Structure 1
Amino acid sequence: MQANATVRIIPRKFLVLLAVALSAFAAPNTIAQQNRTRQQSASPMSPMAADAHPSFEVATINPANPNRTNGGGFIVGGHRLVIEGQTVNDLISFAYALHKKQIVDGPAWLETERFDIDGQADQPGVANLHQVQEMLQKLLATRFGLKLHRDKRDLPIYVIKVAKGGPKLAQSSENAYGLPTQSGHGQGSQQQRKFTNNSMSDFALGMQAYMDRPVVDETGLPGRYDFTLKWTPDNVPTSEPGAPPGIFTAVQEELGLKLEATKGPADVLVIEHVERPSPN
């Protein structure tokens, strides 16, 4: 990522343990849409050292303004991180790269009470997505008293499989160690996402931003691919000529894959303890 701008990042619902470049995937009416990329003028800064493990040197946490008119988001500017109007479930989902339905046994307020966080990393440079996630994991533990463990539970999920006729995916020109990216936009009633150097597990987790349940890769495809997906969200009526189909049809027709609704084992984070944030 170029470090010469303030960047609003997601997920995501999100999310894939990739790099900041992946943080732009978005979905209508979700946190992922709220966290679309925003470029602003700023002094050039270098990326944080790749082997750095930052924490928040200082962080202010306050209840969010209930009259906020925008959805808020995550904003990275230099080694400063500003989080606007997010629930604790949003924070955990982002920090651990899981769908919110994979966070279980938490109190109801995790999904209803929203917070603003303004913090600064204890190391110089612009943090990448891994480092932002690590900072949030530490903040959740120290200021929200979060304790959790990983488990597997049967949940309603979508699985991605290869459709009849085989995949319609181009092998990526990037090497296997290049950063996978997801970028795109909504135009009218349509959504378009461009995937570069994505594995199928990257694609699956990215798609969680648009789906109402976790998405699991069962394609068995080992490579990395470049492709674009265009679709019309199911909740958006359209009479535009030539509008793309809904997401399920688009995945099959454009990518040669299919999304199947089922119930099966999925990774979950089990909340053991959490509390409202400690005073500043």
Structure 2
Amino acid sequence: ENQISGAPSWISSDRFDIQATPGETVAAEWQKLEPDQRSEMQRELLQSLLAERFKLKLGHETRDVPVYLLTVGKNGPKFHESATSNQGRDSGSDQPRRGIMMNGRGQLTVNDAGIDILTNVLSHQLGRIVLDKTGLRGRYDFTLNWTPEPGEGRMNPGGPGPSREGPSGAAPPPEQSGPSLFTALQEQLGLKLESQKAPVGILVVEHVEKPSEN
């Protein structure tokens, strides 16, 4: 939310359901894309929808805002590059899906993905922008387990992997005796978060309207 300025209060309180069916050309193109490319295409399609239905117009600014810097601890990372990346993804059909898998709140599995996926999850969890300062440029496999603090963002499926839900459709509760997110990053991944201020691109809402009924 600290990357958006000038928006009316209803964008944080009102909820909308989106039902969209892609045309044959878009659907065919979608099938040819890697998961990270699909995410980019999905963002572009959503931007077009927001401009059409919400009359959304955005500007851009750069401001100094509170952020977290994700860095490598003094003993180095505790995970390795993905063997799937090194072998290629066409060597077998039983390979794990590339991307992230949400196994409920406080449980994250990453397969053959860059650190940017982790920073996106951390930003959502902590409500603050997380910038990658690790210098790690490969694709990695790792898991992360922690106990979310009260008010910590709920993990919504944001990658190509499936999420596991409980009987009621809600994610199962996390273990109550696990480490905090900050501690888990250090102990399990060898990474740490540092609080600082940094110049960050901000979206300025110049115009937006509530959509009309279908």
* Structures share fold, TM-score greater than 0.5: yes
Partner SS state of residue 272, structure 1: strand
Question: If each structure's strand is expressed as a fraction of its own residues, which one has the higher value?
Answer: 1
2:211 aligned partner? 277
TM-score (norm 2): 0.72
Match of 2:14, as an amino acid? E
Q: 2:192 aligns with which of 258, 261, 266?
A: 258
In the alignment, structure 1 segments of 5+ residues that lack a partner are 1-99
In the alignment, structure 2 segments of 5+ residues that lack a partner are 31-37, 90-96, 152-172
1:129 aligned partner? 39
Distance in 2 (CA, whole Å) between partners of 1:118 and 1:194 is 29
Q: Does the aligned pair in 1 maintain the 2:146–2:180 contact within 8 Å?
A: yes
Write out aligned runs for 1:92-103 (5 A).
100-103=1-4
% identical equivalent positions: 41
Is residue 233 of structure 1 aligned with residue 151 of structure 2?
no
Distance in 1 (CA, whole Å) between partners of 2:22 and 2:43 is 12
Deviation at 1:279, TM superposition (A): 4.6
Match of 1:172, as an amino acid? S
Comparing both chains, which one has the higher relative contact order based on Cα–Cα distances under 8 Å and sequence gaps of 6 or more? 2
Q: 2:63 aligns with which of 138, 153, 157?
A: 153
Partner SS state of residue 127, structure 2: coil
2:13 aligned partner? 112
Partner SS state of residue 174, structure 1: helix
Match of 1:110, as an amino acid? I
Q: Does the aligned pair in 1 maintain the 2:69–2:130 contact within 8 Å?
A: yes
Is residue 247 of structure 1 aligned with residue 148 of structure 2?
no
Match of 1:262, as an amino acid? Q
When structure 1 is superposed on structure 2, of 259-268 and 138-147 the one drifting more is 259-268
| Number of equivalenced pairs | 175
Distance in 1 (CA, whole Å) between partners of 2:115 and 2:40 is 19
Distance 1:185 1:123, change over 3 A: same
Q: 2:138 aligns with which of 211, 217, 223?
A: 223
Distance in 1 (CA, whole Å) between partners of 2:112 and 2:10 is 38
TM-score (norm 1): 0.56
